[in-house]
Structure 1
Amino acid sequence: MKNILLSLDFNGGETILVDKTLEISKKFNSKVWLIHVASPDPDYVGFDAGPQSVRDNRANQLREEHQKLQDFANELTRESIKCEALLIQGSTVETILKKAEKLNIDLIIIGHEIHDFIYKALFGSVSEGLIKKTNIPVLVVPID
């Protein structure tokens, strides 16, 4: 298992996921790819990006998310794990799968939170989407 992809969404539980990834990557001497998939910008393709204040706010949000991702990568690096952090905009499941294929990923690690029926109906489940659409093993870690 040479390459592990850890997907982080910054909704809580990141420490649990990073710790589990650290444990596995140490055992297999794996490289870890941290990925955060940010929503596409602009949210509605074909429309103007909006006023400068909205664009500035979005840019600040992306910088903060990238910094969080880099902080986790630095944490893994301090533990002698080869690690790279990637912040990508796009559709979550499809973006993770494309990147996993491109990077020759051997294991995808993702967190799972229990959501109610309405949330699942509106947004779906990333972990379920990944499991259905890939042949790469997916480790789903409960973070509730």
Structure 2
Amino acid sequence: MQEQAKTLVVAIDLSPAAGPVIEAAAWIAGASAGRLWLIHVAEPDPAFVGWKAGPDSVREHVSERFHAEHQLLQSHAEVLRRRGQVATALLVQGDPAERIVAESEKLGADIIVLGSRGHGPTYEFLVGSVAHDVLRHAPCPVLMVPVPANL
């Protein structure tokens, strides 16, 4: 009996810290013939959250940033595909934890992989933690990849 390929949702922030997270997920996917969904959650569109988008220059800046994030995310997926892995890039907007959980449910994720800088309970209390919120609401197991704070 052949085991079905696993679906891994890999949440990344596009910082240098994404590297160790992607590599951990790629290792798991390689061992399980898994499919990787690289997901980055961009800031919501200002008009969507009730802010006025402002002059054209502001809208152009937001558009350029969104386009740059999309290109970087696609390049991460392309590197994985060149290594023989099945990888798809997905750029969405909204609250990071909510969108990661929602997309994981939609994609039928078997595991969510994300990085954690481990700032500690005081930081999480004051600022919050995407990793903590995903862990609390995830529809499947979550692999937390420790990432050095200096990345």
> TM-score when scaled to structure 1?
0.92
Mapped contact 2:101–2:139 kept (Cα < 8 A): no
2:96 alignment counterpart: 92
**2:97 is aligned with what amino acid?**
V
Identical counterparts, % of pairs: 36
Q: Which runs of 5+ in 1 are unaligned?
A: none
Q: Which amino acid aligns with 1:37?
A: V
Q: Aligned-pair distance for 1:10?
A: 2.0
Please tell me whether residue 75 in structure 1 is matched to residue 74 in structure 2: no
CA separation in 2, counterparts of 1:140 and 1:117? 16
- Corresponding residue to 2:112 among 104, 108, 114: 108
CA shift for structure 1 position 122: 4.5
Residue 32 of structure 1 deviates from its aligned partner by 0.3
1:131 and 2:135 aligned: yes
Q: What pairs with 1:1-144 in structure 2 (closer than 5 Å)?
A: 2-42=6-46, 45-115=49-119, 119-144=123-148
Give 1:50 deviation, angstroms: 0.9
CA distance in 2, matches of 1:56, 1:134: 35
Amino acid at match of 1:26: G
Q: What is the total number of aligned residue pairs between the two structures?
A: 144
Cα distance in 2 for residues equivalent to 1:29 and 1:51: 48
Q: Distance in 1 between matches of 2:95 and 2:51?
A: 18
Q: Distance in 2 between matches of 1:117 and 1:136?
A: 24
Runs (4+) of structure 1 exceeding 4 A deviation are 116-119
Task: In structure 1, give the amino acid aligned to 2:134.
Answer: L
Give the 3 Å change call, closer, same or farther, for CA 46–135 of structure 1 in structure 2.
closer
Shift of 1:38: 0.6
The one-character-per-residue Cα deviations of 1:59-84 (angstroms, maximum 9, x if unpaired) are 11111111110011001101111111
What's the CA shift for 1:116?
6.3
Worse-superposed segment, 115-124 or 48-57: 115-124
| Structure 2: runs of 5+ lacking an equivalent | none
Give distance in 1, aligned partners of 2:120 and 2:134. Answer: 19
What TM-score comes out, normalization by structure 2 length? Answer: 0.88
**SS at 1:40 equivalent:** coil
1:74-117 Cα deviation digits (max 9, x unpaired): 01101111111011001111111111011000000000013366
